């Protein structure tokens, strides 16, 4: 057992805070070196992580490269390229009445931060926030998910070999360990996972007035109308939905379509799935497995909603659940109650766009919303009449790969965002700085005693120049 692993949680928290207080994490050179070390870890230990992801989730190594390791390398490279510029003070206009003076904002690190990750993308969702936390100059404790134990163990073993162990630590464990971590005072908590635990995290953070980023989930709807090319739509949906066996926070959760579109789309989805995973996805090396028995039985119990148009096969022993499309799904059926988070795609019939918008608005604000329509008016109406973390026209899930787009939810799908520059800002305090020379002392105009001249200055000039 390494020294770090044998430390108690209070010792670990105290150690990273000491490193922050000692100024270890602040220099730009340290930050860039840590980012490069993280990059090196992801390249040199790719095989270890790929094997762990295969063990935890049956993830194909190519998919692990695209959605986990390669994704984080991309975030590191983007951050490294721009960090120096993003950290430059930003000049702000000073109102005329305060001149001469100079105002600017600078980004300062928050301190010791806690990152709590879920199991579904256990590399990406632990390390992409770490990129932002390090770039911003923080000390970090990482808590991987206990539901992806092989990846969690790989993190605990490998990270300390690459990153500065004074300022970056991994604490493994489940609810007791996370509860203990949450009792400490942090300068930021970055949590990704479900909303129930999100509330626990927010309540614990409130004890210390700690700011939180909550990256949560929910039901991400899709609207498809007859103007869309259904074969192309089906391929995009099949890819976004059934990647990682549907265990993706931004996966399409359900489809809204008019009756004629619904049945044609179901057929097209069957064709697309055969293209992606062959006629028996159980035999495909590219199709994942459900993370544990509890989720497997939760998901199979949802198969009774509507009728099975595609798939439906399952095996508890191997935690396999075929890519499944459900048709004629009533709006009040169990599969429509909660986020599915698995390879089941219900198609719900709607009576046109107004009805679809009403269905979307009746639920929690989604993390993502997808629209397949060639009509600009349809896209515009959905964009302006609904609220969601993100909108994808013609493509699900891929918005998170655009580093310039903030990634996060709204309402029940979370608050705060990250990726690219937004990650740096999430883990920084934007400090306001005003510098005004002592001479000439223009402030005399507002010092008491208040005269008539000062009064008219206050009422007129001050407002006009404000």
Active site residues: 215, 249
174 scored as a contact of ligand NAD (CB under 6 A) = yes
Closest distance of CB 38 from ligand NAD, Å? 19
341 scored as a contact of ligand NAD (CB under 6 A) = yes
414 scored as a contact of ligand NAD (CB under 6 A) = yes
135 scored as a contact of ligand NAD (CB under 6 A) = no
For ligand NAD, the binding residues in 239-298 under the rule CB under 6 A are 249
Among 13, 19, 367, 368, binds ligand NAD (CB under 6 A): 367
Closest distance of CB 360 from ligand NAD, Å? 17
Among 36, 40, 161, 179, binds ligand NAD (CB under 6 A): 179
Beta carbon nearer to ligand NAD, 48 or 172:
172
Beta bridge partners of 390: 368
Among 51, 200, 202, 395, binds ligand NAD (CB under 6 A): 200
**Which span (170-178, 226-234, 315-323, 432-440) binds ligand NAD, by CB under 6 A?**
170-178
**Which span (60-68, 107-115, 209-217, 316-324) binds ligand NAD, by CB under 6 A?**
209-217
Beta carbon nearer to ligand NAD, 175 or 465:
175
Closest distance of CB 400 from ligand NAD, Å? 8
124 scored as a contact of ligand NAD (CB under 6 A) = no
Beta carbon nearer to ligand NAD, 117 or 326:
117
Going by C-alpha positions, the residue among 122, 336, 65, 127 that lies closest to residue 249 is: 122
Closest distance of CB 409 from ligand NAD, Å? 6
215 scored as a contact of ligand NAD (CB under 6 A) = yes
Closest distance of CB 127 from ligand NAD, Å? 13
Closest distance of CB 29 from ligand NAD, Å? 31
224 scored as a contact of ligand NAD (CB under 6 A) = no
Closest-CB residue for ligand NAD? 217
- Residue ranges that bind ligand NAD, judged by CB under 6 A: 116-120, 125, 143, 145-147, 174-175, 178-179, 192-194, 197, 200, 215-217, 249, 339, 341, 367, 409, 414
């Amino acid at each position: 057992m390494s020294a770090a692993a044998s430390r108690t949680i209070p010792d670990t928290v105290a150690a990273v805070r000491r490193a922050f207080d000692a100024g270890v994490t602040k220099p730009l050179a340290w930050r860039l070196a840590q980012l490069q070390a993280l990059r090196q870890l992801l390249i040199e230990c790719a095989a270890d992580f790929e094997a762990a992801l295969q063990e935890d989730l049956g993830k194909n190594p190519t998919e692990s490269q695209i959605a986990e390791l390669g994704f984080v390398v991309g975030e590191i490279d983007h951050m490294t390229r721009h960090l120096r510029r993003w950290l430059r003070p930003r000049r702000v206009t000073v109102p005329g009445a305060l001149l001469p003076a100079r105002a600017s904002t600078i980004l300062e690190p928050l301190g010791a931060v806690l990152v709590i990750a879920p199991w579904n993308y256990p590399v990406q969702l632990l390390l992409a926030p770490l990129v932002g936390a390090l770039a911003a100059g923080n000390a970090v404790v990482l808590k991987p998910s206990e539901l992806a134990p092989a990846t969690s163990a790989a993190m605990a073993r490998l990270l300390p070999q690459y990153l500065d162990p004074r300022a970056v630590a991994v604490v493994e464990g489940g609810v007791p360990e996370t509860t203990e971590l949450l009792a400490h005072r942090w300068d930021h908590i970055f949590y990704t996972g479900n909303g129930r635990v999100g509330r626990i995290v927010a309540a614990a953070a409130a004890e210390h007035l700690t700011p939180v980023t909550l990256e949560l989930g929910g039901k991400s709807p899709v609207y498809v109308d007859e103007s869309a090319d259904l074969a192309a739509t089906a391929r995009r949906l099949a890819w976004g939905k059934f990647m990682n066996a549907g265990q993706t926070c931004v996966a399409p959760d359900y489809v809204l379509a008019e009756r004629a579109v619904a049945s044609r789309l179901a057929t097209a989805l069957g064709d697309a799935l055969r293209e992606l995973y062959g006629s028996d996805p159980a035999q495909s090396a590219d199709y994942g497995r459900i993370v544990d028995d509890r989720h497997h039985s939760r998901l199979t119990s949802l198969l009774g909603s509507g009728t099975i148009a595609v798939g439906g096969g399952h095996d508890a022993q191997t935690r396999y659940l075929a890519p499944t499309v459900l048709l004629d799904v009533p709006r009040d059926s169990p599969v429509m109650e909660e986020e599915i988070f698995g390879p089941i795609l219900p198609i719900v019939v709607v009576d046109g766009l107004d009805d679809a918008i009403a269905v979307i608005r009746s639920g929690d604000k989604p993390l993502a919303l997808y629209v397949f329509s060639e009509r600009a008016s349809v896209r515009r109406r959905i964009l302006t009449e609904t609220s969601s973390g993100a909108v994808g026209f013609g493509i699900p899930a891929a918005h998170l790969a655009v580093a310039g787009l903030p990634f996060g939810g709204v309402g029940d799908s979370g608050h705060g965002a990250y990726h690219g520059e937004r990650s740096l800002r999430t883990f920084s305090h934007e400090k306001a700085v005003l510098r005004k020379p002592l001479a000439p002392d223009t402030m005399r105009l507002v010092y008491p005693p208040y005269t008539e001249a000062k009064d008219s200055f206050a009422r007129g000039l001050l407002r006009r120049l404000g």
